[in-house]
Structure 1
Amino acid sequence: MDKQNTIFPVYINSWAMNSALGNTLNIAKQRLAEGFSEDMCPENAWLNDGKSTVVGKIKSPLPEIKGQFNTRNNQIALSALLTIEKDVRAAITEYGSDRVAIIMATSTSGISDGEQALAIKNTMGEFPDDYHYRQQELGNLGEFIAQYLQVTGRFTPFPRLALLVVGFLFPPNVY
């Protein structure tokens, strides 16, 4: 059998999200139907021409993360993961830590933390002690989730997408 040209189905075991639309599918559906989300906020200082615009800001409480992975981006992803962690851990137990792939998406890659650190550097002359450039790299989220779950399979960041964490399983005996 030619594994390189064979298509195998991939099953989505569980998925989660956290965005300005909400942190559950039901909340997101409700807010879409109503045409209103309390996490959509007017901002006056974002556009070059000074006009007001609306931006999404997650207002729900986020879990605390310590160390090099402490970014708002990772906190948002972890908040989504925590809602499906039981399913993900069950899949890891059943299939092994090298057989579970974590596929996640983000729209920021921790850039807001970099902006805050740069503002501190501009004021104080140096970056804060807890800041490192790699916190805003695209792979930071994947590294964090892989380390948090202690999985050794693949991790793939997808920038500019709405879903934050999706658990996938590779079919057995494929790779």
Structure 2
Amino acid sequence: MKQHQNAPVGKIYINDFGLINALGDNLKDISLNLFTESQQGFVKRDDILPEATVFVAQVASQLPELDAYPLHFQSRNNQLALQAYQQIAATVESFKQKYSEHRLGVILGTSTSGIAQGEWAMAAKQQSGQFPEEYDYRVQEMSNVAEFISLVAGLSGVSMTISTACSSSAKTFITASELIRTGVIDAAIVGGVDSLCAMTVNGFSALESTSSGICKPSSVNRDGINIGEGAALAVISADKSDLCLLAGGESSDAHHMSAPHPEGRGAIDAMQQALNKAQLSHQQIDYINLHGTATPKNDSMEAIAVAELFPHQPFVSSSKGSIGHTLGAAGATEIGFCCLVLRQQKLAPHVSDNMIDPELPLLNWVKNCTDNKSEIHYCLSNSFAFGGNNVSLIVGREYE
């Protein structure tokens, strides 16, 4: 008989996770490249912005084919999602056997969905006067990626997509945890996916937020972001694992449509909520994966917020210098990086130009992966989005 949770659920665990981004298409390669400060995925493109070049962080590996799936699921976004899903497929199957296909949820985040296919179709229409037969508008719908993964995994339970820009996939961990704790589901596939498309890059360029080169988080020379692409999927449940999702905090300061509160009030609120829910003190956080976009305003406000809330100076770094800003996939990707940090007991280096802005509050930047001399127990990860939509997540390592 299939089991399902009747007793109150306490801790939520990360039972498995899979990643693909500019550092590689599997955990082994990504881990190696993350800890050795690789920037291998950054490329200069001249086919995205009108009459201009721009650096993006793209996936170079061959992706799974989708010909066997319905037309409206055939997108690069879903290819990335499938590559990440294949890394957790065995765990999903074991949970289906333990519970059932309707007791596993799929809660994913994205900001682009299949927009790249829409851009291709529009260009074809301008040439021929009609949309190609291979184009199905449903490929662009935000619900598409969650529906696709539900189909691939053979699940019939809760399926939803969260789209809150750069905090999208971080929010999936909180939403899924609430569904598990209230008994709606027993486990969930969470995470996020975003693929490169012209709309996003042109949008950030119009805001004068794209970097002229490879981004430099927190540097005195920082001048903007590089858009990246990738997917990060995880399986979470109340079934015990060595990786514990302790808590998440959310806030909406709504200071400005695209600029954060200059003093980081919403960021502080989200981080403090996470600490309170996890029943941890500030001093117990060993490492913080910063949102760290390399834009002047984000890096300034986040440094102010972290310095105020964590005077003991835990190690900090941004992953954007390694993989760019993967937008709707960023939060889940960086939780994946925190899981690698906890399991390997190595810190993720801060990849920039080694010229930290002297105007920023003093933080304890990770210079290399062996900086730490003691055990890493708790990591905090920040994701901040347009409109002041802020999420902070805390993960920890449990030992037998």
TM-score, scaled relative to structure 2: 0.38
**CA drift at 1:130:** 2.0
1:143 equivalent in structure 2: 147
2:24 equivalent in structure 1: 22
Distance 1:99 1:114, change over 3 A: same
Work out the CA distance in 2 between the residues paired with 1:31 and 1:106: 25
**CA drift at 1:151:** 0.8
1:132 aligns with 2:142: no
Work out the CA distance in 2 between the residues paired with 1:169 and 1:150: 18
Distance 1:91 1:103, change over 3 A: same
**CA drift at 1:97:** 0.7
Deviations for 1:117-158, whole angstroms, at most 9, x for unmatched residues? 111111111111121221011110000111121212222324
Distance 1:33 1:10, change over 3 A: closer
**CA drift at 1:82:** 0.9
Unpaired segments ≥5 residues, structure 1? 1-5
Match of 1:117 among 118, 121, 125: 121
Contact 2:24/2:30, CA 8 A, preserved across alignment: yes
1:165 equivalent in structure 2: 233
Deviates more, 1:110-119 or 1:95-104: 95-104
With a CA cutoff of 8 Å and minimum separation of 6, indicate the structure with the bigger relative contact order.
1
1:60 equivalent in structure 2: 61
Distance 1:39 1:18, change over 3 A: same
**CA drift at 1:16:** 0.7
Letter in structure 2 aligned against 1:131: Y
Work out the CA distance in 2 between the residues paired with 1:117 and 1:10: 42
Distance 1:106 1:16, change over 3 A: farther
Deviates more, 1:12-21 or 1:70-79: 12-21
Work out the CA distance in 1 between the residues paired with 2:36 and 2:54: 20
Distance 1:95 1:53, change over 3 A: same
Letter in structure 1 aligned against 2:43: C
Work out the CA distance in 2 between the residues paired with 1:115 and 1:15: 31
Superposed CA RMSD in Å reads: 2.4
Work out the CA distance in 1 between the residues paired with 2:121 and 2:39: 29
Question: Max radius of gyration: which structure?
Answer: 2
State the number of aligned residues.
Answer: 165
Match of 1:154 among 145, 151, 158: 158
Q: Secondary structure at the match of 1:126?
A: coil
Unpaired segments ≥5 residues, structure 2? 1-7, 170-191, 193-230, 240-400
